[in-house]
Amino acid sequence: MLKIAVLVSGGGTNLQAIIDAIADGTITNTKIEVVVSSNPRAYALERAMNAGIDTVCISPKSYTDRRGFHQALTEYLLQRNVDLIVLAGFMVVIPEILIRSFRNRIINIHPSLIPSFCGKGYYGIHVHEAALARGVKISGATVHFVDEGTDTGPIIMQKAVEVLADDTPETLQKRIMEQAEWKILPCVINLIAHDRVSVRDNKVRISKD
């Protein structure tokens, strides 16, 4: 059974997609061990509690410096003995100590087709603002492993979504969530739970079942 920790900061619709996918059997052999929030007011915490999942808030604001926060987050996740960390709208830069402790065992959902509109400053609604400002006709979402860079880790799965002429950042964000994020994130977790994802030379291979 794959034990996962889902890390959140906000609304938690991707967390909800994972909870629903476990409930309806789209994801099997997986248990959400804990939901960790960086923000005590995140609605994602309520979603977790409604589903009977253990929650904890580890906020950078509770520590005098970043090092203390990084240490606490890493130690907590090691102590919970999770197999996989899922970043689902976790708006905190992931510390190197955590990446080293969970090499190729941290995945992130990003709301664009990496390498477009990613890296420093590209998160949440800003990603969609940038995509519309550039006038792209296709955007989408990416699930990737987390390495020391920002959105630079091995890509596991991507899904394209059409940009419409009258899109606003909000309508584009919603369509990308519905058509891409809420599908590919559960799909990747299920593949990992069945040992079908491997990394070699920084590239991901998905084996046939």
Tell me the CA end-to-end span of the chain in Å, nearest whole number: 17
Site for ligand GAR in 105-134 (CB under 6 A): 109-111, 123-124, 127
What's the closest the beta carbon of residue 109 comes to ligand GAR, in angstroms? 5
**Angle, CA of 102, 112 and 207, to the nearest 5°:** 55
Site for ligand GAR in 145-184 (CB under 6 A): 177, 181
What's the closest the beta carbon of residue 147 comes to ligand GAR, in angstroms? 14
Using Cβ positions, the residue closest to ligand GAR within the complex turns out to be 89
**Residue 139 binds ligand GAR, judged by CB under 6 A:** no
- Here the tokens at position 159 are 């899904």
Site for ligand GAR in 29-68 (CB under 6 A): 44
Rounded-to-10 torsion of CA 48, 49, 51, 54: 70
What's the rounded Cα separation, in Å, for the pair 64 and 168?
A: 39
Q: Which residue in the set 12, 140, 154, 186 belongs to the binding site for ligand GAR (CB under 6 A)?
A: 12
**Residue 14 binds ligand GAR, judged by CB under 6 A:** yes
C-beta closer to ligand GAR: residue 170 or 195: 170
Q: Which is catalytic among the residues 110, 126, 128, 144?
A: 110
- Would strands 30-37 and 2-8 be described as parallel, antiparallel, or unpaired? parallel
What's the rounded Cα separation, in Å, for the pair 16 and 18?
A: 5
Calculate the CA 189 to chain-centre distance. 10
Q: Is 128 a catalytic residue?
A: no
- Here the tokens at position 102 are 């969970």
What's the closest the beta carbon of residue 142 comes to ligand GAR, in angstroms? 9
Q: Which residue in the set 2, 4, 7, 13 belongs to the binding site for ligand GAR (CB under 6 A)?
A: 13
The answer to whether residues 114 and 142 touch, using CB atoms and an 8 Å cutoff, is yes
What's the rounded Cα separation, in Å, for the pair 6 and 48?
A: 10
**Residue 186 binds ligand GAR, judged by CB under 6 A:** no
Question: Which residues form the interface with ligand GAR (CB under 6 A)?
Answer: 8, 10-14, 44, 88-89, 109-111, 123-124, 127, 177, 181
Report the catalytic residues.
110
